[in-house]
Amino acid sequence: MSQENTLITIVGATAIGKTALSIKLAQHFGCDIISCDSRQFYKETTIGTAVPDADELAAAPHHFIQDRSIFEDYSVGQFEKDALAKLDELFQKNPIQIMVGGSGLYVDAVLKGLDYFPDVDSEVRVQLTDELEEKGIESLQQKLKELDIESYNTIAIDNPHRLIRALEICIGTGNTYSSYKNKPKTPRNFKSIKIGLTADREIMYDRINRRVDIMMENGLLEEAKTVYPHKNLNALQTVGYRELFEYFDGNFTKEFAVSEIKKNTRRFAKRQGTWFRKDKNILWFDFQEDVENIITRVKNLLN
């Protein structure tokens, strides 16, 4: 009997070890890796997004790593289409493929499909963007809290792009953003096995703090300087760059900017944990679990 097409997806918080595990699994099963880390699509940002290094990229075929520019708009909807097309191609070579990443929305887009929202007058977004610049992100956060408490509690409210998206639907349609979510989706032509990596909070936070220090040693400051002239681009509205832009603007000291990167990355990891823990189908392992044990569990699920 031929093997059913199966996508093994590795999720978990930032700095937990997803890349290393994905490579070991890809080598074992002789397959490719689809990256669904929304920060790693862009060629201009390598250090601050923890892109796999040259040895890691050479250890297994990777897709959607630094394959576009920060100057290109790239939506989760487009990624869904691109990733499904790539998987159709890869499954012809091997019925087992691997996807890895900590961007929960992008994982869900591939595994389940996206929610679809009505078109909204573009003027709404313009007004919200103006409000963000004039009054700051807290004003928009408060607005979302009043209009759609469910979305306020579930989306990444310190991501201006996500915040404005939720608000433009609330304001432009008169309905909550959350009311359009979780409608029936197109079934996928593959089955899914989800693996999550976890660690005690103190260990995870220590790994994050050390990773930020290593990024700074590896030249994150210089990298941020090269993209600073384009700091308003969507692709750069992300932890690690925003804080250094504040330093370049004279609002933060360098030491404070680094401490903010660590703090905001820890917050991001906490939100990732909240997102993924809602999914009861994830098989969780400690980040130090023997890879052979994980492979054995996966093989049992494949049979």
Q: Report the C-alpha gap between 45 and 277 in whole angstroms.
A: 29
**Helix segments in 30-69, DSSP class H:** 54-59
Q: Report the C-alpha gap between 274 and 263 in whole angstroms.
A: 17
Q: Report the C-alpha gap between 265 and 239 in whole angstroms.
A: 7
Instruction: Identify which of 18, 64, 60, 17 has the alpha carbon closest to the alpha carbon of residue 40.
Output: 64
Domain with CATH 3.40.50.300 in the chain: 6-114+187-217+274-302
Can you give the pLDDT at residue 2? 64
Q: Report the C-alpha gap between 16 and 206 in whole angstroms.
A: 11
Can you give the pLDDT at residue 119? 84
CATH code of 122-180, in short, is: 1.10.20.140
DSSP 159: -
Residue 254 marked as a ligand binder:
no
Residue 14 marked as a ligand binder:
yes
6-114+187-217+274-302 architecture in CATH? 3-Layer(aba) Sandwich (3.40)
**Mean pLDDT of residues grouped by 10 in the chain (303 residues)?**
87 95 97 95 95 95 97 91 97 97 92 86 91 93 95 90 93 92 84 96 96 97 98 93 97 98 96 92 97 96 89
The CA dihedral of 126, 129, 130, 131, to the nearest 10 degrees, is 120
Residue 176 marked as a ligand binder:
no
Quote the pTM value: 0.82
Residue 16 marked as a ligand binder:
yes
Q: Token pair for residue 286?
A: 């400690």
DSSP 2: P
Residue 12 marked as a ligand binder:
yes
Question: 232: exposed, middle or buried (C-beta count within 10 Å: 0-12, 13-18, 19+)?
Answer: exposed
User: Is the C-alpha dihedral spanning 286, 289, 291, 294 positive or negative?
Assistant: negative
Q: Token pair for residue 257?
A: 């900017």
Q: Report the C-alpha gap between 243 and 241 in whole angstroms.
A: 5
Residue with tokens 């029936």: 184
Residue 208 marked as a ligand binder:
no
**Helix segments in the chain, DSSP class H:** 18-29, 54-59, 76-91, 104-111, 122-135, 137-147, 149-154, 160-173, 201-217, 220-227, 242-248, 254-277, 291-302
Residue 13 marked as a ligand binder:
yes
Domain with CATH 1.10.20.140 in the chain: 122-180
